[in-house]
Structure formats: structure tokens, C-alpha cells
Structure 1
Amino acid sequence: MNRYYIYLVLLNMLVNVIIFVPKILIQYRYEGAVMGVLIAIPIGVALNYLYSKAINKFPEQGLPEILAHSKHRWLKMLHFGSSQLIWFSAGLITLVGFIDILARFVNPEMPKLVFLVIYLAALFLIIQFPTERVMYFLEIVLFLNTPLIGFIIFKAFTNEYLIWDSILEVSTYIFVKPSLKSIAAATYCFAGYANLIIFNRVIKGKLKIWNFIAIFILGTFNLFTTFFIPIGFHGSDGAQEYLYPWISTADSLRMVYSPIERVIFLFLMFYMSISLMSVAVHWHVAYELIKGSFRGKISKKKNWMILSSFTCCSFIAVIYFNTVLLTKITVYWMIFRLGIEMIVVAIFFIWARRRTA
């Protein structure tokens, strides 16, 4: 089993627990979200399988290396440009969302722009590292945080205040026709595989079937945990009232004999590094794709222009996007992403088979 591949998908699953996916799924809990989750699982695993198998035909190469000798330069630039925009926006959505969480739950008196400056300083340091070193950072963060997050989830499942009747009530809507919004939100939990567009550089050997079985198990558990645990704590109607259902759920947990009794503080502390690495991975991919658009090594001037554009977009988003607006934009962004993702995976899979035939 290739642990680097698992890391990329697991990171995307973990970060989506806290920000937008649970809110969207809970919003459509009576309107087909349960069926949407069930449909999203095979779609997510299939996209993982097709894309991973295709890009594995180009061992230890990212997209810039794969398309380096392409004769269709306009097609190459179109692919690079659209990919850069998608990956940058994915990181930006996570960044703006988590800064809003920090401003609400950690220090409401500190301006959001101060949080943004701190995050950007760390992000710009990480995204300029070689891809292998970024993966090492990700491995350390997951190694330190995943067991503790797993323990919090265990505490949630075994809590005496978890109302299983509310979970069963929502489960009875399993045969309601799902909305595209719930399917798009649920499939996003599996979308970490797309980072192979650059991180294939550090993948050694072929991906075995066990990798995809692991993704199926982790994804199924992640989606049902993300969706049902807040409903179990706050009720089938009450869960809808929270902007961030999982943070409110964490605040409902207590560890009586722990030095820190309120789980919400531990939960947010763990997710600070998880969200940082999620944005760093997305922006590293965008940064490498932008570098791949130029011939040869980019100059310091161009590098500063790239980082400056990242900074300007981040400041504009934090200033003008409130929580409600960001959620609405994210819903439609996820639908757009799912459509583009399915088209790109299908085309790349066919192209890779012909290229290596």
C-alpha cells in the first residue's frame, strides 16, 4: 500500500469534516443527502481508480513533465491555466473558511487579516519547497494529528448524549431523490487523489488494489461520520441551525480527566495544522503548475509576482466573503468541480492509454 497516496486523500477527507461538507449535507438531509452520500462513494472511488491508474503510466512525473514535449502548446496552456485556477481556488476556500472559524472561536477580537498574514507567511514558506519535502511535512502533520482526531471521533460515537433515534430518523429518507449539490459535496471528500497531478513525482511504483479498498473504507466511514454525528448530537432539526456543525459537536464533548476538559480547544488546535497543510498542498500544486507554464527556471521577479497574486486574492476574499456568501459560492464551486473533474479524468484516462499503448 502506498502511504503517500493515502495521505493525499486522507488529508482532503479530514479537512472537509470541519468546514463546508457537513453543513451542505445536513442542509439537504431531508432532500436526498443520504442517497447522495451512497451515490458519491462509488463515484469517488471510481474517479480515484481511473485517474491513479492513468497517471501511474508516467512514473515519478507530474503534469509539467508529462506535457513537456507536447506539440499542442495552446492545449497545454489551457490545461495548465484551468488547473491552476481550480487548485488555487480550492486552497483559497479552505483558507478563508478556517480563518472565519479562528476569528469566531479562538480570538474574536483579533482581525481576520492578522490571522491571514500569519497563515500566508507559513504557506509561502511551504509551497516553495520541493514536492518531496512538502510530502514529508504532510506526513508529520498527519502522524501527529490523525490518532488524536480519531480518538475524538471515538469519544463522539461512545458519548451517552448521542441520539441514535435522530440518526435513524434521517436514514429513513434514503430513497429520496438526491440533489446534485449533496452529491458534489460528498464526492469532494474523495478528491484528494487529484493532487497526484504534481505529487505523482513522489509516488514510487504502481498503486495496488489495496489502496483503493482503503480509500473506499476510509471514505465511507468519513462521510457517514461527517454527516450523522452532528445530527446525533443536535437532533435532526437542530443540526441545521449551526454554521459549523462539527465545531458545535466538538464543543458538546468533554474529557473529564484530561488537562483540557473541553474538546473544542483540542479539536481546533489539531485542525489548525490540518487546514494549513490542506491549503499548502493545493497551493503547492497551483504554484508548480504555474512554474510549469514557463520555459526553464522562473526568475525571482516572476516568483514574487506569483506570490503577490496569491496574497492579493487572499486579502480580497477575506475582506469581502462573509460566511453565508462563502458557503453559497462553495456549493456551486463543488458542482462545477465535479463536472470538470469527471470530464478531465475521462479524457486523461483515454489519452494516457493511447499514449502508452
Structure 2
Amino acid sequence: MMTVKDFETAARRRLDPVHADFIAGGAADEITVRANEEAFRRLRLLPRVLRGSAERSLDITVLGGRARTPVLLSPTAFHKLCDGEGELATARAAAAAGAIMIVSMASTVAVEDIAEAIRGSGEDGAPAPLWFQLYLQPDLDFTRTLVRRATDAGCGALVVTVDSPVRGAHERDLRNGFLDLPDGLRCAHMAEPGEGGRVRQIAMSPEISWQHIDWLRGITSLPILLKGALHPEDALLAVRHGVDGLLLSNHGGRQLDTVPATIELLPEIHAAVAGRIPIVLDGGVRRGTDVVKALALGASAVGIGRPVMWALAEGGEKGVRRLLELLRDEVDQALALCGATGVRDLTPDLVRAPVWPDTAGYAVRPGGAVS
């Protein structure tokens, strides 16, 4: 396995075709799925020279969580579709790499078991960094229970998905008849206590509003990141409502099709929040150079989703370890070739971009500058 693409090809051979489509697919015509990758390819890096360093630092700190790599694991559902150990294997690989893992609410392993599997495996014996992704449920008491479980398990932040008032049109899944998990698998956080207990469905909430974010802010002291806010005005509202960070994500193209690629939106969002809260970006990251471009344009870290699932399908825990090592090596190489001693040296002038449409008062110019 030499590239992320190699993992995708290998996973396609190993997975049930229906499950492979579930992982790769997006909403409707999958225009945004393709746009996420294509937008990175349109960006160009303009390196500096004669600024060499024998070593480069890839360490980051986001919302108090330290990591040895700027690549974190975005929340993805149903890891046991790819490997029998599911999220346990993924978490051990992330802990070994010093990477932050965001546990999905739709995980097939409970957050308590994931936390136990990596207890003491962080730097100097500290807990490996875990965050928890949450869909706010209409049953607020049940939502409160999930928040308490994530807190008690030692999660360092809550990542609240806000782009899913209804489900996206996953036409691949509909054509394949993939409407539920296979026998023997369940969404661990939605199951009632005890073997054979009722498993709730994750409810999408068309009525979700900023009042729900205020309610959540009032019941937890954990940092809150919003996942899926794409408009600069919503980024400003997030700051005003006491949100601690943004996960700039279009759900991998799985919700509203034809929305822009996240890397195209990053300069606008970065200008809007003006450094008041950190931005993590995911969507279409397939190379170390993609990571460097995102960090240079203002992201504090970068998330990967589908590549984790492909690596898990190809080689379980070892596959995910290899994936994270590969991306770390690619980021390190790109830093050296850009004349950077670490991720903190990355600035917008290292990126040459097309002129993207000015739709919200922030014009993105060549070189990544924003006016």
C-alpha cells in the first residue's frame, strides 16, 4: 500500500460490493463527492527555498487536545462492516499514531469500550485523544445520556453534526437495498441496555436550531465543535453562541449534493471567524499535499473518513496504522519541500488558487488571499 488510492482499490476487492458502495457513495448525482477531491487538485503549492531544517514538527494542539499528527479521524459509521474488531482496531491504530479519533454516534462499538481499549496508550501514558460525534436527538433526555456517556468515557470534545435535518438521498444504497445493518451488527450507542435490547433509530431532526446548541452548551463543559456549517454567516453565529470550533465538512458529499468542496470554502470561513475558534477541515483529503494546502489556508487540522474505512477493510488495525504512517510521511515530505520547519510555518502565500466565486462578501484571490 503506497497511496490512499491503493487502499481504496484493495478494499473494493475485499468488501461486499453493497458495503463498498455504502462507503464510497454520496447523495444524488455525487457531484460534491467528486468536487471534494477535484478542488484539491486545482490548488497549487508554491514552495519557499533555503529555509531548511533537519526535522519538522507535525504536532498540533486543538481545543486542548494534543496530537502528533495534523491528520485526525473524522467520524464514520459502522466499522464492523470492514473488520470484525470494528472501531476497536481503528482506535488502537489512531492511538499508536498519536492521532485524534472522533467516535461516531453510529459506531458499532460503544465509546466506553473504545476508550478502554486505548487507555494509557497516549503520550506519557495519558489517555489517547478521543472526541465524540453527536446527532442531537428530539429526545433530549436520551441526548443528555449520550453526552454523559461520552464525558464519562474521557472524550475531550463533542462534535455536533448540524447538516442533517433530514437524510441525504443515498441512491446507491437504495438501489442496493442497503437499508439496515447485517444480522449481528448494531449501532452500539442506540441500543437499550442488555443483550437483545431494542435498538433505537438515529432520528434526524428538521426542527434543530441554535436553541438546541444553547441547550447543549448549558449541560456540558466539554468543548463543542459544529460539523457541517458551511456558510460564513453560520460560522459567525457559531462564535456568538459559544461554540468552541468548527469541523468544516460537507458530510463527504452525503447530504446536500452540489454544495461546494470544503477546501473552496475554507478561506471564507477562516476570514469570517478571524481566528476566534479553530477550524478542522475534512472532505476529499487523499494526499499529504492536500493536508498541507488545508493547513496553509487556515485549518488547524484535517480529517479523513473514507480512507480509514478502506484501510480497515484492507488490513484491519495494521491497515489503518499503515495509512496514517503513509500520510504522515507525505505531510513531512511536503513540509520539507515547501521550506517549512513545521505545520505552524504554513501560510496562505504557499498556495496558488483559482478565483472562486464571491458569494458571501469574501473574494478568494490567487495565492489564497481573502479580501
TM-score band w.r.t. shorter chain: under 0.3
Tell me which protein shows more strand as a share of its residues: 2
Give the alignment's TM-score, normalised by structure 2.
Answer: 0.26
Bigger helix share: 1
Structure having greater relative contact order (Cα 8 Å, sep ≥ 6): 1
